A and B are shown apart, each in its own frame.
Chain A
Amino acid sequence: MSNYYNMPKLPTESSPKVEIFVDDKAVMVPGDTNLLEALKAVGIETPHVCYHPYLPVSGNCRQCLVEQEGPRGRMLVIACYTPVAPGMKIYTPASSARVKNARKATQEFMLVNHPLDCPICDKAGECTLQENYMECGQNEGRLRPEYGKNYHGNPAHQFVDSKGQVRGGKHVDIGPRILLDEERCVQCDRCVRFMRSVAGDEQLQLAGRADHTYITTFPGEKLDHEYDLCVTDVCPTGAMTAKYFRFQKRVWLLSHTPTISMDDSLGANIWIDHADGKIYRVMPRCNPEVNRSWLSNTSRMAFQNFNKNRLPAIGGISVMKDAIASASGKIALVAGGECTIEDLAALRMLKETLGDRAEIFAGTLKVKSEPDGIAKSGDPMANRAGFKLLGLPDDNLYDLAQHVSDYSVVVCVNNDIIGEGNKSMDAIEKIPTRIVLSAFNDETASKATLAFGIKHWSEVQGTMVNSLNILQKLNAAPTAPDAELKPAYEVLSELAGKPFTCAYDAFKKAAEYAPALAGLAYDTIKSTGLHLEGGNA
């Protein structure tokens, strides 16, 4: 609530370095940020609950206390709201018992009215309160049971459990995608700030006051927004949980693969959380320049179809090769936005092998919309900038539709041109030989003369260039439903006769076509991507 317009200033690579004294030791920290971020930059973690780098500072959890030397002696201040000043003197629990005790006391208060039901809580394992407890709490229980707990909850949902304790609402259905466990809420205000300041639609609010505060939507209304699942990410406790992931998997059993969501040209950075070859959830991966910490519901929930309706890899590559070789007319190579740079390098290599007979077409027929300013650019063709980088057309599908009669073969890679509901593309069916490389048995594949399954973008290693001209890395999650499936670049390079054995081969090939990629290796691309110079995107 308080000063909700104060967005935290985050350090960047170009932040000026200033000297401050932490526990009487001089350290150089970024000078244009808050203390919490500055300490983080030098490896000192400060426990916090309400602070979030991409939400306005609210400063209500009081967990990130440090001591600051001031004109009136050493004062406790909250690190998240204290700007760094050159020469300031800071004391952390490493040297100050007062800070240690203050954090411990806050942690104790935090848990006074919080249910200790970690064994049945879905957030256990990634809960901020658990982390903070291990970091700065570890209190011995001092209270007597007769003091009771005052669970936070909407009066309309409160009930008396079998032990006679008044409880807050359990698994309250506050939206189509989210369940709320009212008594687990610690009133950190993060979800309220997210909905108000980021989503721009204030659907959540803390109602009541004091220890009767509870989180709620307007009575009778549901939390429903394209980004509403982000509140489950920002929620530090198990209060807000996503229905789709609730009780599906313990989080410590999940493996995390960092990759890029290839359904939008912003290329939101994501984690694919999987176990036993199955994707359980997709989480936003923080990238300050791209999607910050946010991810749209569409991108997040898309994984549910990644292993459905898949196209098997049956028929063999030689059949395709023969079909292309025996073609009399021209060959159309159609690529879709989900193709990585590697796929495109292989495609261009194939085109060069085939010579003038072949022509590359690309684009999407899906509707383009405006950027929403959060985590979507609105352009469904994810790697559009990658096409431009490799000198390939990125929007000429209609040329193909108008000149279908010139072509005798079409090779369609990762592009469901028929299934996108645009009638003009039905003409493709007039091309006698229709080869489709696709992860899914979609409409284009079903109308193909030859359909061959390949790996989905979540299962391949590669790179893409997003609409901000940032080169981003995709990593392969081991979730392919069939071991026979190959990435598109392998199939295409085999068709071209010069098979790539790994993604990096393809990437090196791409560097031949695009000088901007020369000299780069996967290791030199940071997890947050690499700005390409002089982009055309």
Chain B
Amino acid sequence: MAECVKVCTENFGKGAQDIEVYKKLGGYENISERLFNMSQFELIDYVQRTNLRGRGGAGFPTGMKWSFVPRGTGKPVYIVVNADEGEGGTFKDHFLMLEDPHRLIEGLIIAAWALGSRAAYIYCRGEFLPCIESLNKALNQAYAAGYLGENICGTKFSFDIFVHRGAGAYICGEETALINSLEGQKGQPRLKPPFPAVSGAWKSPTCVNNVETIMALPWIFKHDPSEYAKMGTPRAGGTKVFCISGDVKNPGVYEAPLGTPMMTMINEYAGGVVGGKLKAVLPGGSSCAPLTAEEAAVATMDYECLASMKTMFGSGAIIVINDTHNMVDLLNVLGNFYSHESCGQCTPCREGTGLLHRMLNQIVAGNGHDGDVELMQSLAGGFGGVTICPLSISLGGPVGAYSAKFRADFDEYIAKNPDHAKPRVQETARPGIFW
């Protein structure tokens, strides 16, 4: 395991929640003349040159996202930090905010300077009350130290950060749903276009960024953009905070450069698979297609490689599964999750995720039939590209991939039903009185 530069996690375990400690560790050095002498355009160009891509899951280049925000419209520009981390297997933002809240604030000031934002909202999921407490404490210190508020450090620039506590909805991690939630509505994704960069929160330009993306900015701004860019792959620069969970010896948050081989992550960072042999890996959170042990052996953790393997990098959440697990059980867990978290807007997702979950329940309960798997695949195929947001595909994709790659697990369950070959109950005899 090569020693990696720590971009986001360098202050972990050093008590950086306190502003004095954070400043001693080099914090808030960026909020200086160097930043204040930079124009918005220069700063966006600076970030573009780092090849920083959004760390929330979609991997959209951050600099490009910022450059889409129209300037001079007379409307305020909002930065919204997406701290609604709810994807199964992802827990980096939780610890990033808990351990180093000031870095998020510092990153936000840099982002606000680039975008001309007056107010930023940190949309933190409701379960993370300790994070919110940590952030609010940090905000109080930052206001007291003059880094936030009116006319920061004697410039004409004013900036406020508010923490918004969500209340339990996975779908609010989708940026337009998050904006709806911020506006005090149900967190249901919006139709696009208009994209949030043009018309987002309160119909104003809005830039939604992940916590990790914003927290990479202080390091980036302190160093040369090329230094960050060269750490990753040619199309995505920098390091990534990986979350490794599941059947590994040392699950946790690890920062590593993009493009690190999957097995290095599992064996060297996380201490190897425990409890059995490696069966499957989910490389990017619960909604991505699993990799089998053979595929995992050759995969590297970057956007392109995983996309070529028909899965996704997502938020860098590696979930390791050993061979004591039946994949149908895990798919049932996902069915439960996504049918519970569907926002109830689009018909296929609202009704379909619940239906798939009920079908999986039947299979797990020993009532599976021949043809159920094909039926599930066919139903999941009805999700493809027809809904407003990709939540339906987050279940439809795994249903297809699990059943294709681990078909034996399904057959094993279905064989438990003695009547599994019985055809679907055809129409029963109708009462004679009507016909």
Contact = CB atoms under 8 A, between A and B. Distances in A.
In the complex, are there CB atoms of A and B closer than 8 Å? yes
Interface of A: 1-3, 5-6, 49, 57, 59-63, 65, 75-76, 81, 101-102, 105-106, 108-110, 112-113, 141-148, 150, 186-187, 206, 208-213
B369 to A, nearest CB: 7
Contact of B358 (A60, A141, A147): A147
Contact of B344 (A5, A147, A211): A211
B343 interface: yes
Interface string B385-425: 11110000000000000000000000000000000000011
Given A106-B382, A112-B355, A213-B350, A2 B344 contact: no
A150 B353 CA distance: 12
Contacts of A63: 347
A110 B347 contact: yes
A102 B215 CA distance: 41
Contacts of B375: 142-143
B191 A62 contact: no
Size class of B's contact patch?
35 or more
Nearest to B367: A146
Given A105-B382, A150-B358, A186 B189 contact: no
Contact of A61 (B203, B347, B358, B367): B347
B86 interface: no
B352 A112 contact: yes
Interface stretch (B36-44, B155-163, B180-188, B302-310): B180-188
A146 B358 CA distance: 9
Contact of A209 (B344, B385, B387, B424): B344
Contacts of A208: 344
A116 to B, nearest CB: 13
A75 B192 CA distance: 14
Given A2-B176, A209-B342, A62 B351 contact: no
A213 B351 CA distance: 10
B340 interface: yes
A65 B191 contact: no
A257 B189 CA distance: 42
9 contacts: A1-B180, A3-B190, A110-B351, A141-B424, A206-B344, A210-B344, A211-B344, A211-B353, A212-B344
B416 to A, nearest CB: 15
Interface of B: 169, 176, 180, 185-186, 188-191, 194, 203, 339-348, 350-355, 358-359, 362, 367, 369, 375, 378-379, 381-382, 384-388, 424-425
A141 B352 CA distance: 15
Given A59-B388, A208-B344, 19 more contacts: A62-B348, A63-B347, A76-B384, A81-B191, A102-B382, A109-B382, A112-B352, A113-B351, A142-B375, A143-B424, A144-B425, A146-B367, A147-B362, A186-B347, A210-B339, A210-B340, A210-B344, A211-B339, A211-B344
A76 B362 CA distance: 32
A59 B386 CA distance: 11
Given A57-B191, A145-B425, A209-B169, A102 B386 contact: yes
B276 to A, nearest CB: 33
Contacts of A142: 375, 378, 424
Contacts of A105: 348, 379, 381-382, 386
B400 to A, nearest CB: 14
B190 A213 contact: no
B351 A109 contact: yes
B354 A2 contact: no
Contact of A62 (B180, B194, B344, B346): B346
A214 to B, nearest CB: 10
Contacts of A109: 347-348, 350-352, 355, 382
Most buried by A among B169, B188, B345, B425: B345
B190 A144 contact: no
A106 B347 CA distance: 7
Contacts of A60: 345-347, 388
Contacts of A145: 425
B191 A59 contact: yes
B353 A62 contact: no
A209 B186 contact: yes
B342 A211 contact: yes
Nearest to A141: B424
A209 B348 contact: no
A3 B200 CA distance: 10
Given A2-B388, A3-B191, A6-B191, A209 B343 contact: yes
A4 to B, nearest CB: 9
Nearest to A206: B344
Contacts of B379: 105, 108
A141 B428 CA distance: 13
Nearest to B427: A141
Given A6-B191, A59-B388, A146-B367, A210 B354 contact: yes
A141 B423 CA distance: 13
Most buried by B among A142, A208, A209, A212: A209
A64 to B, nearest CB: 11
Contacts of A59: 191, 388
Contacts of B344: 187, 206, 208-213
A75 B387 CA distance: 12
Most buried by A among B359, B375, B386: B386
A76 B385 contact: yes
B190 A2 contact: yes
A211 B351 contact: yes
Contacts of B341: 210
B16 to A, nearest CB: 37
Contacts of A206: 186, 344
Contacts of B358: 147-148, 150
